[in-house]
Chains A and B, each alone.
Chain A
Amino acid sequence: MQRIGVFVCHCGTNIAATVDVKKVAELVRFEPGVVHAEDYTYMCSEVGQQRIIDTVKEKNLTGIVVCSCSPRMHEATFRKCAEKAGINPYMVEIANIREHCSWIHKDMEEATEKAVILARAAIAKVNLNAPLQEGESPVTKRALVIGGGIAGIQTAIDIAEAGYPVDIVEKTPSIGGRMSQLDKTFPTLDCSSCILTPKMVEASAHPLITLHTYSEVENVSGFVGNFEVDIRKKARSVNMDKCTGCGVCMTKCPMKKVPSEFNRNLNTRTAIYTPFAQAVPNVPVIDRENCMYFKTGKCGVCSKVCQAGAVDYEQQDEIITEKYGAIVVATGFDMIKLDKFDEYAYSQSADVITSLELERIMNAAGPTSGHLERISDGKAPKNIVFIQCVGSRCNDHRGKPYCSKICCMYTAKHAMLIRDKYPDTNVTVFYIDVRTPGKNFDEFYRRAVEQYHVNYVKGQVGKVVPKADGTLDVQGVDLLDNKQIVVNADMVVLAAAIEPNPDIRKIATMLTASIDTNNFLTEAHAKLRPVESPTAGIFLSGVTQGPKDIPETVSQAGAAAVKVIGLLAKDKLKTNPCTAKCDPIACNGCSTCANVCPYGAISYEDQLVRGPGVNETRRVAVVNTALCQGCGACSASCPSGAMDLQGFSNRQLISEVDAICR
């Protein structure tokens, strides 16, 4: 029989204001195994912990129940405290009477009753707890960064600078990401490429950074410190070692009609291509779907003109397997598709464009060589309307509920640049609010209004109507004037909401990292662990975690790198002792558990099974505790109950449920 002490925390008034903590301590005193129960203002304080330690010694406690906040907050604290008191840390259970109880109830009587029930469940569990020992696992001192945008590049550089090797896996032929598509950056208006390309070169030249461009993560197994990742290196059809980057193949390629992804399909590229002039690596790829040689077997021009003999039509996808200690997700964002927002006529008029398309138009390397032109007829627009929050802060299913955060600033930038370069152009911005928190941000916006006389109209646009003369009627409302207005424009720019890269769902699933309803990766703690995923060993960098601008992305990228460095600096990691265990007598050998195990921790072997009425060699499940992460999928799927999770055994869970339902 256990000797259990129950410690009920007030958490100041967080718990005590809604739960009668004294009554909880009083009522659980007669539960089986309980030899001590008390309440205290702050159980997590030095004094509170000392009370636990003293009581353990005084009353020879074998188990501890702390009724307090979520175990995610203080389970580790109380486990350490138990260890200090000389009992096994896994003899501690937390009854969450704050998040699960006091914070969600108003009625004290009800909340108190529920707190007692939760305490009873924890007590029932501790009665069946057994001491568990943590193991150790080694750390592979190499990191993987998924995504080669500014977030991934910065994280990789910072990790490599600390002396650890890093691999970047980038899906497209070049690193650089969204930032490489931008023209100027707010609020300083420096050229995006000019500040990004040195970073790209630094990453590429760093002896500890390996770039896998035109590559994708195919499979992830293992766990923190010991990930094993399959990377598909897509066939480039160009030998990276031989290619000199001269670019002749691209000039001679007869297939010139492929829409350029990099230029947001505003112009075309060749079938053998690098996405942009400063691409890193400066080695083209053949887009096999559009290449004449791959489509018809005829052509082969690039191969003929290549002096280096680098073009290799026979190249195959290659899958490499690497080991990593930590994985950083930096998969970035894209703009939402606008098919649900057809009132803005995006699909009806070539002169209704997104802000990212405008970035390309304004860029000297873009489809119009930096001249502000209408896509439809190449004429200079005289009236431009910007529409903010297209799909952002959107309450219906068409858009996103969140603020995309960067649009107010980049629109101010666009407006200002246009007014500066083309002073005869009228610029109108329809906005819900202008949000400019950030260093030098509001000053920047005010400059657009006061110095450049951009016409900001508070109000939303209901409809954009393409007219027969090629102009667009923007029908909106001016809320400050309280009237409906129509602005005739030559060009309309939509600040479309940004959303996480759609690949994130697949990647998150491979990593068993959780994502929120908007597909942003979830942090381990929104405030205190913002660059870590709840899945150990997975870190978040950039917009994959939430909308942010370049400076914020770079800061977060550095923060993620620090976390990775902290992990890789360790030689050993403590392993979770709550692992699965198979009872060979009950095991059918059916393989269900091995099928559902996400960590590949279960194998089968022929074992001599001895027990009441059994003495035979048969196929049974064996758990590799170094790989097992204690998720419990096996024990839930085992039809005979042979698989059990230590620390969360079926028996323990049932007794908790029984204690609740009693």
Chain B
Amino acid sequence: MQGLIDRLKALLADGTVARVIGWKKGDMSYNPTPAIFNSVEDLDEFVYDGFCGANLSKMMIDATKLEGKTAVLLKPCDSYSFNQLIREHRVNRDNAYIIGIACRGKLDIERAKATGIKGITEVTGTEHDGADTVTFKTLYGDKEVAYNEIMLGRCYMCKGKEHVIADEVIGESKDTAVVDRFAQVAEIEAMSSAEKFEFFKKELSKCIRCNACRNVCPCCSCRKCVFDSTKFDSQQKANVDSFEEKMFHIIRAFHVAGRCTDCGECSRVCPQGIPLHLFNKKFIKDIDTFYGEFQAGKDPEAQSPLTAFTFEDVEPKIVSERSKG
């Protein structure tokens, strides 16, 4: 990590960039928080470890409007989001210096806690070049867990170790995919309509409308969200009526359809543990099926199948027939 910090300091010192967006230590040993570093000294607080799951690309919308270049640290999967933002003209590429950083999968503290770990005082072994086991120092003694057993759900469906965009890449990433990315969707597809409805009703009823999903989502970058607009009769409250409860997430999924890179941040930040990524994954799966495989953000020049038209496009009749089969 020292090498990384030295490189960042050098970039700031020689004026290549005016600021760096990365992570600094949080109030606990397992929640580093996104931060902007404006000076070489600030960087002393910089951290990059297994808990740095946050996708920083969205912060570049505002940062690239500032004077001077902004360096941003992007993991391979985050780089897709950045590309998508370029495609939507939401970031100024010329004002961005992208440092592709190495990733071996990011950790999920909830998964660790679910193994019975509590009273955590310190976590070690989570750095990129760290051990295969993570050591939790707790009030009840040290506990060791294999790194690849407590990763974020999305990391088991890793998109790959390559950065799709970067000015420089530091370190070697690891492809941590072990399960089919659409396995969960297929499970839900196998349910009856009534079961699906019950499943989502149960999940969505947990929503407290904290808007964390919306705030973190790189696609939810509207200057003014339709849900905040007075033009539409939305209430901006949890459970104010069944519409707000059910429709907020469904409409959000429609709005990001064809644009969602499947970064999984929505599910990572949801304090209620709602599997929000399932909506997006279902859309991605359908788009793949009907229009051929498409990965949003892979190529900033590529047309999204939902906003492009070709004579080969599948017709509604075929869509409905295929979805039956």
Contacts and interface: CB of A to CB of B under 8 A. Distances in A.
Contact of A640 (B222, B233, B256): B222
B88 A590 contact: yes
B75 to A, nearest CB: 24
B255 interface: yes
A505 B222 CA distance: 37
A596 B231 CA distance: 23
A596 B308 CA distance: 6
Interface in A567-614: 585-592, 595-596, 598, 604
Contact of A592 (B223, B225, B307, B309): B307
4 nearest A-B pairs in the assembled complex, by CB-CB distance? A640-B222, A590-B88, A595-B307, A641-B226
B29 interface: no
Interface residues of B, number: 21
Interface of B is mostly: loop
Contact of A591 (B88, B222, B223, B232): B88
A586 B222 contact: yes
B90 A588 contact: yes
Contact of B307 (A588, A596, A604): A596
A588 B88 contact: yes
Interface centre among B222, B232, B311 (most CB of A within 10 A): B222
Interface string A477-508: 00000000000000000000000000001100
Contacts of A587: 223
Interface string B197-235: 000000000000000000000000111111001011100
Nearest to B61: A588
11 contacts: A505-B311, A587-B223, A588-B89, A588-B223, A591-B89, A595-B303, A598-B309, A637-B307, A639-B222, A641-B232, A654-B232
Nearest to A517: B317
Contacts of A598: 309
B311 A650 contact: no
Interface residues of A, number: 24
Interface string A632-643: 000001011100
Nearest to A609: B223
Given A595-B303, A650-B232, A509 B88 contact: no
B90 A654 contact: no
A24 to B, nearest CB: 27
Given A586-B222, A586-B224, A595-B307, A641 B231 contact: yes
A588 B221 contact: yes
Given A586-B229, A654-B232, 15 more contacts: A505-B311, A509-B311, A585-B223, A586-B222, A588-B221, A595-B307, A596-B309, A598-B309, A639-B255, A639-B256, A640-B222, A640-B223, A641-B232, A650-B231, A654-B233
Contacts of A588: 88-90, 221-223
Interface of B: 88-90, 221-226, 229, 231-233, 255-256, 303-304, 307-309, 311
A639 B226 CA distance: 8
A306 to B, nearest CB: 38
A443 interface: no
A619 interface: yes
Interface in A387-439: none
A658 B88 contact: no
A640 B225 contact: yes
A178 interface: no
A587 B224 CA distance: 8
A587 B226 CA distance: 11
Contacts of A604: 89
A505 B313 CA distance: 12
Contacts of B304: 595
Contacts of A505: 311
Contact of A641 (B89, B221, B229, B309): B229
A589 B226 contact: no
Contacts of B233: 654, 658
A586 B303 contact: no
Interface string A104-127: 000000000000000000000000
A637 B304 CA distance: 12
A587 B304 CA distance: 19
B292 to A, nearest CB: 18
A651 interface: yes
A641 B231 CA distance: 9
Contacts of B311: 505-506, 509
Interface in A606-662: 619, 637, 639-641, 650-651, 654, 658
Contact of B90 (A509, A590, A637): A590
Contacts of A509: 311
Contacts of B222: 586, 588, 639-640
Nearest to A614: B223
Nearest to B89: A589
B232 A585 contact: no
Contact of B88 (A585, A592, A637): A592
A604 B88 CA distance: 12
Contacts of B232: 641, 650-651, 654
A641 B251 CA distance: 12
Contacts of B89: 588-591, 604, 619
B125 to A, nearest CB: 42
A160 B207 CA distance: 68
A637 B308 CA distance: 12
A651 B231 contact: yes
Contacts of B231: 641, 650-651
A220 to B, nearest CB: 13
Contacts of A651: 231-232
A604 to B, nearest CB: 8
B230 to A, nearest CB: 10
A586 B307 contact: no
A230 B255 CA distance: 34
Contacts of B225: 640
Nearest to A592: B307
A230 to B, nearest CB: 15
Contacts of B223: 585-588, 640
B299 to A, nearest CB: 15
A653 to B, nearest CB: 11
Nearest to B224: A586
Contacts of A589: 88-90
Contacts of A637: 307
Nearest to A637: B307
Contacts of A506: 311
Interface centre among B304, B307, B309 (most CB of A within 10 A): B307
Contacts of B88: 588-592
Contacts of B90: 588-590
A41 to B, nearest CB: 39
A241 B197 CA distance: 70
A100 to B, nearest CB: 22
A122 to B, nearest CB: 19
B226 A640 contact: yes
Contacts of B255: 639
A651 B231 CA distance: 6
A637 B295 CA distance: 19
B226 A595 contact: no
